[in-house]
Structure 1
Amino acid sequence: MNLDGDWPLPRPNTRIKFDRRAAGSTLSKTSSIASTFSSLATPVVAEAVQRAKELSTKSDAEGFHQLRIAFRKLRALYWAYSPFLGEETAANATEEFKRLAAVAGGTRDWDIAGDLLKTAQESGASIELLVAAAREKRAQAVVDSQTMIKSDDVEAFLSDVLLRAQITLQSRCSDLPIRAFAKKRVRLAQRMLQKRSRRAAGRETAHEEDLHDVRKAGKKLRYLLEFFQPVLKGGHDRTIKELTSVQNKLGQFNDIAASETLIRSASFNEVPAEVVQESLQWLEKQKCRRMRAASRRVRTMSS
């Protein structure tokens, strides 16, 4: 996959100097919508650029995971500011954030799948060949991620989308205060989460896609609360803590579901089909158990 060819936006002629200071340190209720975006986005972009540089020579799974989180946070931020950025501009940027997050997550996904397969092996499953094959897939995922995520390309792309967003916001909302806007966007994210939670909780049998939608909506709300907490009335630490707890439960289910999908879609030429099938049966059993636990947690939240 050619990273240059996939960019919806051209590279800038100049690079932005990124400041990695804490995002909330310069936010206040009198800040403008435009200046607040810069304060929030710049540290996240700096984090992504630094992670990309480190991962060009390292294969640390946590580093890839943190890079994926940085892109997810940028997606949430661009969604929040999309009324002033413009739906098309925000959509183009967030689509590339999504793609880069998926590329960054390949190594982490195989790490999770490998750990689950080791657990299956410890539980008595005869899948040694598949455990070894998963290690090879993980090594290949590192190479693929490093090939497709070049630090200079990532920095150029992020510099461009950040600069374009800053110029747009300065022209459209440089004098508009942030508090009412932040409150409105957080409320919309809350309603989206409530709607998805009620839909998931209202089914007699849990659906994977519903739980995945709840998980995504919960992440978006949590990121926005973390971003905007300095300018919102009242503390939101308890809500953030609750959302994190729900996300952890949903994440445990997602790890199983994603690993099952990963193994089903991969080819293992040196592994007998019955070995792969044995692992999938074990994963299916664990998935059902974790799905029930995640569904109970979502029902509690929705009520």
Structure 2
Amino acid sequence: MDMDGDWPLPRPRTRFRIDRHRCGASLTSKTSIASTFSSLAMPVVIEVVQRTQSLATEVDPEAFHQLRVAFRKLRALYWAYSPWLGEEATAHASEEFKRLAAVAGGTRDWDIAGDLLKTAQKSDASIERLVSAAREKRAQAVAHSQTMIKSDAVEAFLNDAMMRAQTTLQSCCNDLPIRAFARRRVRMAQRTLRKRSRRAARSEAGHEENLHDVRKAGKKLRYLLEFFQPVIKGEHERTIKELTAVQKTLGEFNDIAASETLIRNTSFDEVPADVVEKSLQWLEREKCQRIDLASRKVKAISD
């Protein structure tokens, strides 16, 4: 699916009410499905709006990364409520969240690749030319993000998406308590993670892609546990910590694999081909070392 395609971002006449005083309000098992969505979505929406407003002057890689994470959290939340929101509405919103996350993540991707290349440079000074080229690509990514992510358009899109979601949920599940629903969605996310982990643990061909699928499923589960922890029974702090540790290992592997793909698919007019090839060989060696550790982590959770 082409995630770079435009999806219209209308300015609705009725605005989604963002009550900042309710953002920190505690949820209970008796809170309705509809009102819980609003309470969980509001803090993330506010964060996205604030970060996109500062994007015009922001060049901190962590800020771009956190914006990407916020969009991912909204995708997870929409997935959780998709049985009530409907397939079409969920797909439209999720596709735009994914597109915006990818645009915001371009800068972060080049920061990661640049840091890896600096490490590679320690063993081969000639790679410094590629390090410099990566800095230029990073600057281009910043400009692209600033051009593509306009705060007014993003706020209008979020305003419309949240208002539509709120209206739909209030019409069909405004009096239904959240606990049973939240537990079902968490269990479904757990089953998906277990299934993907087992597939990755026994796979050989296409192993990298399977590890990436595990990473995505783990993120979704962790976000849902963080969202729903106040209203579902059981202690989930340990599970969140375990998921975070696995995600860290898978993330380090993914950074190398993604950087290798990024460099391989990018044209560097001012960098000799042999220098690019040296960097790719170095990344390949690092990836081979990391994949064993990532595989062991995945096997552990698959059991």
- TM-score of the alignment, normalized to the shorter chain, above 0.5: yes
Report the equivalent of 2:94. Answer: 94
Q: Offset of 1:115 from its aligned partner?
A: 0.2
The DSSP-based 3-state class of the residue aligned with 2:230 is: helix
Distance 1:73 1:272, change over 3 A: same
Report the equivalent of 1:35. Answer: 35
Number of aligned residues: 301
The DSSP-based 3-state class of the residue aligned with 1:174 is: coil
Q: Greater shift after overlay, 117-126 or 13-22?
A: 13-22
Paired with 2:84 and 2:240, the residues of 1 have a C-alpha distance of 26
1:131 maps to amino acid: V
Report the equivalent of 2:201. Answer: 201
The DSSP-based 3-state class of the residue aligned with 2:30 is: coil
Report the equivalent of 1:266. Answer: 266
Report the equivalent of 1:213. Answer: 213
Would the aligned equivalents of 2:26 and 2:230 in 1 still touch at CA under 8 Å? no
Paired with 1:248 and 1:41, the residues of 2 have a C-alpha distance of 25
Report the equivalent of 2:52. Answer: 52
1:197 maps to amino acid: S
Report the equivalent of 1:103. Answer: 103
Gaps of at least 5 residues in structure 2 are none
Report the equivalent of 1:140. Answer: 140
- Structure 1 outlier segments of 4+, above 3 Å: 14-17, 19-24
User: Could you give the per-residue CA deviations for residues 101-123 of structure 1, whole angstroms, max 9, x where no partner exists?
Assistant: 00000000000000000000013
Distance 1:32 1:224, change over 3 A: same
1:11 maps to amino acid: R
1:177 maps to amino acid: P
Paired with 2:267 and 2:21, the residues of 1 have a C-alpha distance of 44
Distance 1:235 1:55, change over 3 A: same
The DSSP-based 3-state class of the residue aligned with 2:271 is: coil
Report the equivalent of 1:7. Answer: 7
Report the equivalent of 1:288. Answer: 288
Paired with 1:221 and 1:199, the residues of 2 have a C-alpha distance of 17
1:65 maps to amino acid: H
Paired with 1:263 and 1:5, the residues of 2 have a C-alpha distance of 24
Report the equivalent of 1:126. Answer: 126
Percent of pairs identical after alignment? 74
Distance 1:243 1:21, change over 3 A: farther
Paired with 1:156 and 1:71, the residues of 2 have a C-alpha distance of 15
Report the equivalent of 1:233. Answer: 233
Q: Offset of 1:234 from its aligned partner?
A: 1.2
Paired with 2:70 and 2:160, the residues of 1 have a C-alpha distance of 17
Would the aligned equivalents of 2:44 and 2:74 in 1 still touch at CA under 8 Å? yes
User: Could you give the per-residue CA deviations for residues 209-259 of structure 1, whole angstroms, max 9, x where no partner exists?
Assistant: 000000000000000000000001011000000000000000000000110
Q: TM-score w.r.t. structure 2 length?
A: 0.96
1:27 maps to amino acid: L
Paired with 1:4 and 1:267, the residues of 2 have a C-alpha distance of 20
1:296 maps to amino acid: R
Paired with 1:205 and 1:20, the residues of 2 have a C-alpha distance of 49
Distance 1:179 1:107, change over 3 A: same
Q: Offset of 1:19 from its aligned partner?
A: 4.0
Alignment of 1:173-184 (within 5 A): 173-184=173-184
Paired with 1:239 and 1:48, the residues of 2 have a C-alpha distance of 27
Distance 1:99 1:114, change over 3 A: same
1:66 maps to amino acid: Q
Q: Offset of 1:5 from its aligned partner?
A: 7.6
Would the aligned equivalents of 2:9 and 2:157 in 1 still touch at CA under 8 Å? yes
Report the equivalent of 1:68. Answer: 68
Paired with 1:205 and 1:257, the residues of 2 have a C-alpha distance of 16
Paired with 1:268 and 1:14, the residues of 2 have a C-alpha distance of 48
